[in-house]
């Protein structure tokens, strides 16, 4: 059964239901694949072999006992290391949390466990999700399975790399400015940022509270939808959680029909600064949607150009406060406690030693933006720009059902390329950030490879708040039409990874 790792979650589910294989077999196959490939990819920070196999055995036992199980019961998953899991190391990619084992489950993890999903381990990420390449992880970068010399995107590079390396069929990411969608685009996989408040943040180590959104990563649209349905829904532990039914995402993914759907191409998200191969694949996909019966128009969102500056005020401001708790007093790293240094000095020394350069940069920026005399000009104004961006969306949605753009201006770049140029790095997220600021749902779907470098290109779909189902409708339509063209999903074009023993 060596091909178990090539199956989709939906296929694995059927194989288990029909008794052809077990969760333990599937889990073991993926653990083996991790062992064989992760030296090269470095998608995982922690592999919970015993925990995963125990969970799998439990699902198998319950299935054998005739218990009615959810559609994803027994399917393995890779969890971004920013979500707490009781008793399992959780670092958020930071030295300051090395060895910390949270005493509680995040809501996402609670729901995964309740659905019988097997958690293989914790995936690599930019430290505290600050970054677009996973190079900011304190534990070393993750490599893109399509080209190991390149970054897999970020911050959730580990999760996307894991699914594109067939180490897991499913993964959880979190998206603050594109951290699910951009890595999905760079790895030829599907990544969905649900509506803000559609998935619970309880147990998500906060980067920017008003932007952070957990969401599903998978190799197919249907798998992403199945996972979306498991983790979404109201959570009384998160005050910003939306108390409404989960949009019908699975049904939309199964239907995959765009006939009559009105699609708006965002004028401002393209042109200068966009790689030709990215634009070419994007426009072909738009054409394909037209052929499938969608009505396509161009739409202007004039304030999107201010999304990046607004984002780099709001995020650092909230982050500077959210990260204050990492102070060496109650958990995590402590440096300089020699009996001589006082608490304040130990805090300073620990934070100096425990945080990486990008984290410090953003804490400093946020501290500046919130300090007296600057608040109104910076944070206050950025919140107003948010209103303008949300209004751009509202106006656009009066004309169209969804908006589309490339997911990223370029394909995956080389490791080390942009580490010393923060602004170039920030510009990766030009297309994805507006949806975080406005809180609406958005996703990236693979639409082919750029001619110039043979690397995956992501197609970005943005849907109104709580219309996450529309994303899946578009994604599934594209996926099946492209599979017809290619004779399979894009992932089947990925180069084989060298397997180590």
Partner 1 sequence: MTVVADVLPIDDALAQYDPVMGLEVHVELNTKSKMFCGCPTEFGAEPNTQTCPVCLGLPGALPVVNAVGVESAIKIGLALNCEIAEWCRFARKNYFYPDMPKNFQTSQYDEPIAFNGWTDVVVDGETYRIEIERAHMEEDTGKSLHVGGATGRIHGASHSLVDYNRAGIPLIEIVTKTIEVPGEKAAAVARALVSQLRDLLLSIGVSDVRMDQGSLRCDANVSLKPKGSTTLGTRTETKNVNSFRSVERAITYEITRQAAILSSGGKILQETRHWHEDTGITTSGREKSDADDYRYFPEPDLVPIAPSREWVESLRATLPEAPSLRRARLQTEWGFTDLEMRDVINGGAVEYIVRTVELGVDAAAAKKWWLGELARAANESGKDLGDLGVGPAEVAEVQKLVDEGALNDKLARQVFDGLVKGEGTPAEIMAARGLALVSDDSALIEAIDRAIAANPDVVEKVNSGKPAAAGALIGAVMKDMRGQADAAKVRELLNTKLGI
Partner 2 sequence: MPSITREEVAHLARLARIELSDDELDHLAPQLDQIIGLVAQVSDVAAEDIPPTSHALPLSNVMRKDENVPCLTPEQALSGAPAAEDQRFRVPRILSEEA
Residue 422 site contact among partner 1, partner 2, none (CB < 5 to 8 Å, cut-off depends on kind):
partner 2
Q: For residue 20, what are its two tokens?
A: 């052809």
- State yes or no: residue 35 binds partner 2 (CB under 8 A): no
Evaluate whether 342 touches 238 at the Cβ level (below 8 Å).
no
Nearer to partner 1, 378 or 445 (CB): 378
Q: Which of residues 190-219 bind partner 1 (CB under 8 A)?
A: 201-206, 208-210
Of 81, 127, 327, 469, the residue at the interface with partner 2 (CB under 8 A) is 327
- State yes or no: residue 243 binds partner 1 (CB under 8 A): no
Identify the sign of the CA torsion 475, 206, 43, 155.
Answer: positive
Measure the CA–CA gap between 62 and 189, rounded to whole angstroms.
Answer: 32
- State yes or no: residue 197 binds partner 2 (CB under 8 A): yes
80 is catalytic: yes
In a 13 Å sphere around the CA of 210, the CA atoms on its Cβ side amount to: 15
Measure the CA–CA gap between 431 and 393, rounded to whole angstroms.
Answer: 13
Stretch that binds partner 2, among 12-20, 52-60, 147-155, 365-373 (CB under 8 A): 365-373
- State yes or no: residue 310 binds partner 2 (CB under 8 A): yes
> Which residue in 13, 106, 137, 179 is the catalytic one?
179
- State yes or no: residue 245 binds partner 2 (CB under 8 A): no
Per-residue x/- track, 340-359, partner 2 (CB under 8 A): -xxxxxxxxx-xx--x-x--
Q: Is it true that the peptide bond before 155 is cis, omega within 30 degrees of 0? A: yes
Q: For residue 7, what are its two tokens?
A: 């199956």
- State yes or no: residue 495 binds partner 1 (CB under 8 A): no
Nearer to partner 1, 60 or 127 (CB): 127
Q: Which of residues 266-285 bind partner 2 (CB under 8 A)?
A: none
DSSP string, 216-240: EEESSHHHHHHHHHHHBS--TT-TT
DSSP letter for 274, please: S
372 is catalytic: no
Least Å distance, CB 437 to partner 1, is 13
Of 113, 262, 267, 361, the residue at the interface with partner 2 (CB under 8 A) is 361
Identify the sign of the CA torsion 302, 305, 310, 315.
Answer: positive
Residue 352 site contact among partner 1, partner 2, none (CB < 5 to 8 Å, cut-off depends on kind):
partner 2
Nearer to partner 2, 6 or 348 (CB): 348
Count the site residues for partner 1 by CB under 8 A: 45
Least Å distance, CB 378 to partner 2, is 7
Least Å distance, CB 126 to partner 2, is 17
Of 224, 250, 369, 476, the residue at the interface with partner 2 (CB under 8 A) is 369
Q: For residue 484, what are its two tokens?
A: 């017809």
Q: Which of residues 288-327 bind partner 1 (CB under 8 A)?
A: 317-318, 320-321, 324-327
φ, ψ of residue 179 to 5 degrees: the values are: -65, -10
Nearer to partner 1, 318 or 479 (CB): 318
Stretch that binds partner 2, among 18-26, 35-43, 94-102, 200-208 (CB under 8 A): 94-102
- State yes or no: residue 244 binds partner 1 (CB under 8 A): no
Which residues in 352-476 belong to E strands, given as ranges? 402-406, 441-449, 456-463
Least Å distance, CB 106 to partner 1, is 6
Evaluate whether 118 touches 98 at the Cβ level (below 8 Å).
no
Q: Which of residues 84-123 bind partner 1 (CB under 8 A)?
A: 84, 90, 92, 97, 100, 102-104, 106
Q: For residue 172, what are its two tokens?
A: 């959880």
What counts of helices (H) and strands (E) characterise the chain?
16, 11
- State yes or no: residue 480 binds partner 1 (CB under 8 A): no
DSSP reduced 3-state for 310? helix
Least Å distance, CB 70 to partner 1, is 24
DSSP string, 243-262: -SPPP-HHHHHHH---TT-E
> Which residue in 13, 22, 80, 435 is the catalytic one?
80
Three-class SS of 322-387: HHHHCCCCCCCCCCCCCCCCCHHHHHHHHHHHHCCHHHHHHHHHHHHHHCCCCCHHHHHHHHHHHH
Q: Which of residues 205-244 bind partner 2 (CB under 8 A)?
A: 210, 236, 239-240, 242
DSSP reduced 3-state for 89? coil
Residue 291 site contact among partner 2, partner 1, none (CB < 5 to 8 Å, cut-off depends on kind):
none
Evaluate whether 268 touches 396 at the Cβ level (below 8 Å).
no
Measure the CA–CA gap between 183 and 92, rounded to whole angstroms.
Answer: 17
DSSP reduced 3-state for 214? strand
Per-residue x/- track, 38-77, partner 1 (CB under 8 A): ----------------------------------------
Stretch that binds partner 2, among 20-28, 34-42, 64-72, 308-316 (CB under 8 A): 308-316
Instruction: Measure CA 319 to chain center.
Output: 18
Evaluate whether 458 touches 447 at the Cβ level (below 8 Å).
yes
Instruction: Measure CA 356 to chain center.
Output: 21
Q: For residue 475, what are its two tokens?
A: 């994604």
133 is catalytic: no
Q: Which residues are catalytic?
A: 80, 155, 179
Interaction site with partner 1 (CB under 8 A): 83-84, 90, 92, 97, 100, 102-104, 106, 201-206, 208-210, 236-240, 317-318, 320-321, 324-327, 329-331, 339, 343-344, 347, 367, 370-372, 375, 379
């Amino acid at each position: 059964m060596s091909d178990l790792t090539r199956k989709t979650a939906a296929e694995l589910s059927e194989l288990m239901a029909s008794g052809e294989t077990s969760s333990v077999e599937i889990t073991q196959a993926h653990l083996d694949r991790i062992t064989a490939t992760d030296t090269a990819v470095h998608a995982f920070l922690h592999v919970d072999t015993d925990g995963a196999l125990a969970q799998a055995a439990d699902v198998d036992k319950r299935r054998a006992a005739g218990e009615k199980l959810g559609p994803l019961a027994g399917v393995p998953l890779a969890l971004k290391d920013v979500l707490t899991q009781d008793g399992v190391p959780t670092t958020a990619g930071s030295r300051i949390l090395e060895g910390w084992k949270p005493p509680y489950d995040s809501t996402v993890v609670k729901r995964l466990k309740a659905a019988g999903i097997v958690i293989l381990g914790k995936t690599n990420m930019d430290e505290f999700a600050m970054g677009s390449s996973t190079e900011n992880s304190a534990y070393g970068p993750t490599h893109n399975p399509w080209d190991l010399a390149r970054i897999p995107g970020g911050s959730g590079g580990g999760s996307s790399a894991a699914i594109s390396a067939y180490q897991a069929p499913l993964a959880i990411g979190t998206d603050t400015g594109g951290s699910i969608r951009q890595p999905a685009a760079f790895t030829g996989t599907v990544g969905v940022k649900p509506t803000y408040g559609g998935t619970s943040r309880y147990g998500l180590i906060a980067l920017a509270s008003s932007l952070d959104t957990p969401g599903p990563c998978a190799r197919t649209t249907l798998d992403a939808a199945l996972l979306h349905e498991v983790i979404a829904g109201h959570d009384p532990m998160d005050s910003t959680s939306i108390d409404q039914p989960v949009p019908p995402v699975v049904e939309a993914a199964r239907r995959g029909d765009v006939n009559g759907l009105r699609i708006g191409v965002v004028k401002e998200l393209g042109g200068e600064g966009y790689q030709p191969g990215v634009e070419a694949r994007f426009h072909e996909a738009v054409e394909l949607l037209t052929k499938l019966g969608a009505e396509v128009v161009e739409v202007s969102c004039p304030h999107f150009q201010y999304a990046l500056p607004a984002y780099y005020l709001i995020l650092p401001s909230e982050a500077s406060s959210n990260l204050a708790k990492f102070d060496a007093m109650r958990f995590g790293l402590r440096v300089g406690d020699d009996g001589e240094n006082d608490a304040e000095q130990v805090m300073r020394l620990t934070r100096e030693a425990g945080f990486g350069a990008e984290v410090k940069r953003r804490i400093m920026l946020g501290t500046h933006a919130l300090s007296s005399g600057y608040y109104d000009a910076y944070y206050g104004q950025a919140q107003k720009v948010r209103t303008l961006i949300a209004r751009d969306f509202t106006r656009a949605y009066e004309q169209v059902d969804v908006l589309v753009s490339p997911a990223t201006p370029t394909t995956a770049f080389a490791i080390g390329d942009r580490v010393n140029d923060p602004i170039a790095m920030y510009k990766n997220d030009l297309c994805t950030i507006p949806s975080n600021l406005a809180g609406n749902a958005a996703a990236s779907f693979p639409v082919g490879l750029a001619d110039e470098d043979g690397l995956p290109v992501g197609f970005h779909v943005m849907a109104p708040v709580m219309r996450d189902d529309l994303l899946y409708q578009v994604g599934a339509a594209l996926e099946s039409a492209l599979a017809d063209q290619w004779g399979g999903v894009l992932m089947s074009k990925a180069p084989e990874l060298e397997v180590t023993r």
